[in-house]
């Protein structure tokens, strides 16, 4: 199976995040979203993981379906919170048996009762996954710093440590290209020059995005809030402005040399498809006169630029 680190070395990537469904209705919605996004030829997709055996099984099922039925490079998330080392070894073994070559190693949110297991931080999970033969390992990055970090400088040092052992990073969503550029520059000064993929969350509902931003420690900039508030409560106008801002952000990131874009889809496709259509992305790659459509298929080269 393709390593995401190899894809990042071959050209601009476009990828999507999904979460595993909890019931039949959510399952139908996810399947519809995957079908809608397939024509965009994703370089890879990621599937979230909340911890616990039931979530683990749902994540594995989605990943296995993407790998085997749709031939999409799929990467499961994995958290070290709420699992012993032995359980994590078992989980990684299950992923590898399902054909997984890529894992996103995360610390995870603290448990409500404060209980801790053997692995406390993502860097330890990176080390474990590497020792078990996972081919490519990603980690999370926070442009504004992790909400639990005492300060930005220590957050950057910790990120540099874990990314030094991993292969690439994917950021939490943010709203200003300067935040991403500052993150990459800080890592560069710490001697880390591995790919950092910016995470994109289109604003289609101001209240919802502000709540999510508060939880992630990433404030929505005042100028963005002001633009959206001028829509005067018109949902369609808020959505139009939000997508316009997302396109501007994405294009600025690509112009500044970002290795790709990772869209947080929330298991819907419309906003992501509209943004992708308006972007100037130089892909798919052309190899020996054939184009790789991102799904493991080679086809005669035609111009598919959006």
Which residues are identified as catalytic?
17
Cis before residue 284, ω within 30 degrees of 0? yes
Q: Note whether 101 and 63 are within 8 A (CB).
A: no
Q: Note whether 37 and 16 are within 8 A (CB).
A: yes
What is the layout of strands, in order, in the sheet containing 290-292? 286-287, 290-292, 298-300
SS3 at position 303: coil
Beta strands 196-200 and 168-173 are: parallel
- Going from the C-alpha of 218 to that of each of 16, 23, 179, 214, the distances in angstroms are 20, 30, 10, 6
Which DSSP string do the residues of 40-102 spell out, in sequence order?
Answer: G--SEEEE---SSHHHHHHHHHHHHHHHHTS---EEEEEE-TT--HHHHHHHHHHHHHTT--E
Question: 116: part of which helix (H) or strand (E)?
Answer: none
């Amino acid at each position: 199976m393709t390593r995401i680190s190899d894809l990042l070395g071959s050209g601009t990537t476009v990828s999507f995040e999904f979460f595993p469904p909890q019931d039949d209705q959510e399952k139908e919605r996810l399947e519809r979203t995957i079908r809608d996004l397939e024509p965009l030829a994703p370089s890879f997709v990621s599937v979230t993981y909340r911890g616990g055996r039931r979530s683990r099984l749902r994540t594995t099922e989605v990943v296995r379906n993407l790998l085997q039925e749709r031939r999409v490079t799929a990467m499961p998330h994995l958290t070290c919170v709420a699992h012993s080392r032995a359980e994590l070894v078992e989980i990684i073994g299950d992923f590898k048996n399902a054909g997984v070559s890529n894992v996103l190693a995360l610390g995870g949110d603290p448990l409500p009762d404060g209980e801790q297991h053997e692995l406390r931080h993502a860097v330890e999970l990176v080390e474990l996954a590497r020792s078990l033969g996972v081919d490519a390992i990603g980690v999370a990055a926070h442009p504004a710093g992790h909400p639990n970090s005492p300060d930005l400088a220590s957050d950057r040092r910790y990120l540099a440590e874990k990314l030094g052992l991993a292969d690439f990073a994917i950021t939490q969503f943010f709203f200003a290209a300067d935040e991403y550029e500052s993150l990459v520059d800080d890592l560069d000064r710490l001697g880390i020059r591995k790919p950092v993929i910016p995470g994109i969350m289109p604003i289609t509902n101001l209240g919802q995005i502000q709540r999510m931003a508060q939880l992630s420690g990433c404030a929505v900039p005042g100028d963005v809030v002001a633009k959206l508030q001028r829509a005067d409560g018109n949902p369609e106008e808020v959505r139009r402005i939000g997508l316009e801002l997302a396109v501007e952000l994405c294009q600025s990131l690509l112009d500044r040399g970002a290795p790709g874009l990772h869209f947080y889809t929330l298991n819907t496709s419309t906003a992501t498809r509209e943004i992708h259509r308006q972007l100037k992305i130089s892909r798919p790659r052309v190899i020996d006169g054939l184009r790789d459509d991102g799904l493991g298929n080679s086809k005669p080269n035609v111009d598919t630029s959006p």
